[in-house]
Amino acid sequence: MSNLAISFKKLVDEAVYAQTGERRYQGSVTDPTAFFANLDKLTAVFNGMYAFLAFHPGVDKVIPEYVQAGSISSDAGPRILVLFLAAEAFSFPRRVSPQDLGLGVDLDMTSHPAYQFVGWLFPAESRPPLPGLVFFDDPCNIVEAVYVPLTGLADLAAVAQRCRRVFIAAEESHGESDKRPDLDRFAVALRREKIDYVRSGKRSFKEFMVMTGQWLNDHRAEIASLVSKATGSSHS
Amino acid sequence: MNAYLVLVCRVQVFVPRSGSVACCIVIQMRSPQARVDLHESTIASGLLTDFSRQLQAFGVLSCMTGNAADPLITRMMYVFAAVFRQAEQQFATKPALSGIPLVYNPDAWSSEHLCGYAGEDLLAAPIEAVGSYGNLWLLSIRQPSVATGHFLKCALWFYAQGRQRRDVIRFALHLFEAGFFIKLNGFLDLIAVLTDYCTRNVDLSSLRDLKRAEAAKVGAFLRQQDAQLYQLPRSETLLHEVLDCLIEHTVDRIEEARSASSLDAWVISLARLMGPVEWLSIAFHQAADLDLGMVRRALLSQIEEIGADLHAESGLWRTKAEVMLPLAWSTPTLGRLGKEYQAAYGDAWIDHLTDERLIVPRAVSKELAAQITTGDHIDAERAAVPPRTWQFCSPKLAPMLSFAVERDPTLMRSNDFDADVLVAEFLRVEGAGAPHSDADDGQEFMQRHGQHALAGARRRLIGRELASILADVLTMNEQTPRARLQDYRELYPWSQAICRISGIHESLAGDPEQGLDQLQQAVLLGPGDRVGWSALAQECHRRNLQHEAAYCTAVAATLPT
């Protein structure tokens, strides 16, 4: 079973359409100049947490395996948007292929965009090891992200088990069902579960996207979001 | 003299929810003329495969265009029944279906199961499938709600046999793709009600292990549920699960359509998407009420745009048919959309447009883009012309596409007439009293009056031209240049008469293999034409293919003159 993913830019396009009802003749063609201006509209319609999967495909091989295996979409649930750097554009929603997860496999760790992101979030002296999940509740504004390392996990089962516990803790950060997520509450839940985490310096995901935008364009790559999968009880 | 032939082959044995088993069978051959295994006849088995696909194609294409008429269906079913019935009678082994979804025919059905996948859940001969298709198509036209009830009955029975929710949704999708729904609304209604059953946790245990003979009990169960179903609470999670199943299936099929390697594959893929895309488009417009969440809404939004592309494609086929223009595939919005995509994505515009929409398949997208691009400039008004192999559907699909747009394939001219010729014909019959200036410039006339005004003129010109061509080809002999016949074939590529005569000429005086191929194409273009079957029978006889010859002769004998 493989996962479905959608372009992060398309989510922003849709957020604009959901609020304004305006769709142009050509459909949801992304207007690059309007993308950053519209990013805040996503926050208005998505009342959940963002989790950026930071890994190097050549080194952290078990992470792409976990994504490829397919359970991450149901593990994360509908209120967590799992983002990753995709090696191919997601002009239309489709299944994630192994090639999608191989972005920058030939790059070293100082130049890989996922590593750059974590390096940029944390000062050199306190930089946590990769791979890991970067959680934030607002893609536009400056926040202190929560970083959960996924290091030292030997195999797929171990990664899946750790991620499930982390996602459950993230789900708790909502408190009551209709409340926005709260990174402090998330940190408390992680501490209670004895899961290591690190709080970042004050940064915004938007800045990271501006930083990497040209690089991604040059490689026809982009930030994509995994689509959460509903799993109901089986029929009896 | 008796001869014995031992064959080791795979036969489908009915074992519920299991595959097939290998076994050894002995066929007694009493004489060289005795019946042979169908698989030994490449001509007959190839034709039957193509006719099976035609049957399915007619269903999905009719759904796409919205055209399906009772007399046409009745006539088609008669022909298909003759084709498959004779295969059963003329060959030692019956043709077997495998992998396709089936629902029972209320009039005649040999399996104890109400529905399932052929070869996996039940054994059914193609002739049974033909009966099921025909009956349900006619029911869909005459009593749509009864037809929907039948599909629902089968789907719920299928669900009740220990299947998962996703299995039954996929079964309904597979039925649509197999062409069982002649009307789009029938499919949309089925999915809507099926979704209600799947998301309200209805107790279906009383339907478990019911046999075909007890189908009435399923009907009684449905009538009882009518009053109770909507009193049960709907699970939001289960609704999302059903939607996710539909979305995943649709997204995969859209990707397959983009990768089509031929025009036939492209046309069929788009038609097969019409049902699920239409249903998901409806769901998109209810996204707020259904509390689907942001990501699901974004997925549905992109699928809804694909729906616009499908309707545009369907509309183009219908319009071309109405005004008697060539039924050639074209993509007139490529330039206009291309400009928009170029503004967003620069040089990579055609890749993004191809991957995001269903305007053009990958196989020809770059070639067509190059035709309308000079440097960085896209000429939005310039029409990109697909390569010849991408302009017209093959004889396998052509008649079904034609029927679905209510057009006689024989009258499909591959080039339109010159504007001046058309206008002159229009003025000759319909334009008496029109201002004289109208006749001055054909192009200007067309712009002013539109293509619809000229449909009658085209029809008359085609009729006269075709009559003259047929008169000519009927007097051709071995000395006639082959090029003339080839020109006629190119001009009327879907005329079974020209195709047949060309096949006979090739066979006798040109390339015999091409001749045989054209004679087979002729029966695919006109399965109900007994002359075509007789001509193929003659050719088989000439090649000493006696079993094939007997089969074609038998089909011809059952068709009306």
Mean pLDDT of chain B: 88
| B333, closest residue in chain A (CA to CA) | A26
Most B CBs within 10 Å, among A39, A92, A180, to test the B interface: A92
**pLDDT tens sequence across A114-155:** 888 888 888 777 788 889 999 988 888 878 889 999 999 989
Cβ distance A14 to B337 less than 8 Å, yes or no, reads: no
pLDDT at position A28, please?
56
Distance from CA of A33 to the nearest CA of B (A): 9
pLDDT at position B322, please?
94
Q: How far apart, in whole angstroms, are the C-alpha atoms of residue A195 and residue A163?
A: 10
Percent of chain A, pLDDT > 70? 90
pLDDT at position B478, please?
75
| B448-459 mean pLDDT | 86
Percent of chain B, pLDDT > 70? 92
Q: Answer yes or no: is the ipTM higher than 0.85.
A: yes
Which helix (H) or strand (E) segment is B449 a member of? helix B442-449
Contacts of B340 in chain A (CB under 8 A): 24-26, 29
pLDDT at position A117, please?
84
pLDDT at position A17, please?
81
Cβ distance B293 to A78 less than 8 Å, yes or no, reads: yes
Q: Which of residues 105-144 of A touch B (CB under 8 A)?
A: none
| B427-441 mean pLDDT | 65
pLDDT at position A30, please?
61
Q: How far apart, in whole angstroms, are the C-alpha atoms of residue B419 and residue B422?
A: 5
Say if CB B121 and CB B35 are below 8 A apart: no
**pLDDT tens sequence across B172-193:** 999 999 999 999 999 999 999 9
Q: How many residue contacts between A and B have a Cβ separation below 8 Å?
A: 107
Establish whether the linkage from the previous residue to A78 is cis, with ω within 30° of 0. Answer: no
DSSP labels, B234-291: PPHHHHHHHHHHHHHHHHHHHHHHHT-SSHHHHHHHHHHHHHHHHHHHHHHHTHHHHT
Whether the per-residue pLDDT at A23 is higher than 80: the answer is: no
Q: How far apart, in whole angstroms, are the C-alpha atoms of residue B536 and residue B549?
A: 7
Contacts of B238 in chain A (CB under 8 A): 230, 232-233
The answer to whether A28 contacts chain B (CB < 8 Å) is yes
pLDDT at position B30, please?
34
| B419-435 mean pLDDT | 80
When CB atoms are compared, the residue of A18, A28, A94 closest to B255 is: A94
Contacts of A95 in chain B (CB under 8 A): 251-252, 255
Percent of chain B, pLDDT > 90? 73
**pLDDT tens sequence across A157-187:** 999 999 999 999 998 888 766 678 888 899 9
| B305, closest residue in chain A (CA to CA) | A27
Amino acid symbol at A8: F
Cβ distance A89 to B352 less than 8 Å, yes or no, reads: yes
When CB atoms are compared, the residue of B240, B305, B348 closest to A27 is: B305
Contacts of A233 in chain B (CB under 8 A): 238
Cβ distance B247 to A42 less than 8 Å, yes or no, reads: no
Which helix (H) or strand (E) segment is A15 a member of? helix A8-20
**pLDDT tens sequence across B36-55:** 777 777 899 999 999 999 99
**pLDDT tens sequence across B323-353:** 999 999 999 999 999 999 998 888 989 999 9
pLDDT at position A46, please?
87
Distances (CA, A) of B415 to B245, B263, B315, B421, B491: 44, 18, 20, 13, 7
Nearest to A10 by CA among A47, A52, A51, A38: A38
Whether the per-residue pLDDT at B4 is higher than 90: the answer is: no
pLDDT at position B28, please?
30
When CB atoms are compared, the residue of B204, B237, B355 closest to A91 is: B355
The answer to whether A2 contacts chain B (CB < 8 Å) is no
When CB atoms are compared, the residue of A4, A11, A29 closest to B251 is: A4
Q: How far apart, in whole angstroms, are the C-alpha atoms of residue B430 and residue B440?
A: 16
pLDDT at position B27, please?
29
User: pTM of the entire structure?
Assistant: 0.90
Q: How far apart, in whole angstroms, are the C-alpha atoms of residue B458 and residue A4?
A: 49
Distance from CA of B137 to the nearest CA of A (A): 31
Contacts of B305 in chain A (CB under 8 A): 27-28
Count of beta carbons in the 10 Å neighbourhood of residue B42? 10
Most B CBs within 10 Å, among A12, A16, A19, A26, to test the B interface: A26
Whether the per-residue pLDDT at B452 is higher than 70: the answer is: yes
The answer to whether A94 contacts chain B (CB < 8 Å) is yes
pLDDT at position B440, please?
60
Contacts of A42 in chain B (CB under 8 A): 294
Confidence of residue B435 (pLDDT cuts 50, 70, 90): low
Whether the per-residue pLDDT at B245 is higher than 80: the answer is: yes
Whether the per-residue pLDDT at B309 is higher than 80: the answer is: yes
**pLDDT tens sequence across A102-116:** 888 778 777 788 888
Contacts of B310 in chain A (CB under 8 A): none
| A95, closest residue in chain B (CA to CA) | B252
Whether the per-residue pLDDT at B18 is higher than 60: the answer is: no
| B464-482 mean pLDDT | 88
The answer to whether B302 contacts chain A (CB < 8 Å) is yes
Q: Which of residues 257-286 of B touch A (CB under 8 A)?
A: none
Distance from CA of A110 to the nearest CA of B (A): 29
Lowest-confidence region among A220-229, B211-220, B489-498:
A220-229
DSSP labels, B109-153: ---SSSEEEBTTTB---HHHHHHHHHHHHHHHHH-HHHHHHHHHH
Distance from CA of A43 to the nearest CA of B (A): 10
Confidence of residue B33 (pLDDT cuts 50, 70, 90): low
Mean pLDDT of chain A: 84
**pLDDT tens sequence across B49-88:** 999 999 999 999 999 998 888 889 999 999 999 999 999 9
Lowest-confidence region among A30-39, B7-16, B257-266, B439-448:
B7-16
| A219, closest residue in chain B (CA to CA) | B348
Q: How far apart, in whole angstroms, are the C-alpha atoms of residue B70 and residue B142?
A: 8
pLDDT at position B251, please?
97
Distance from CA of B242 to the nearest CA of A (A): 9
Cβ distance A6 to B355 less than 8 Å, yes or no, reads: no
Whether the per-residue pLDDT at B2 is higher than 80: the answer is: no
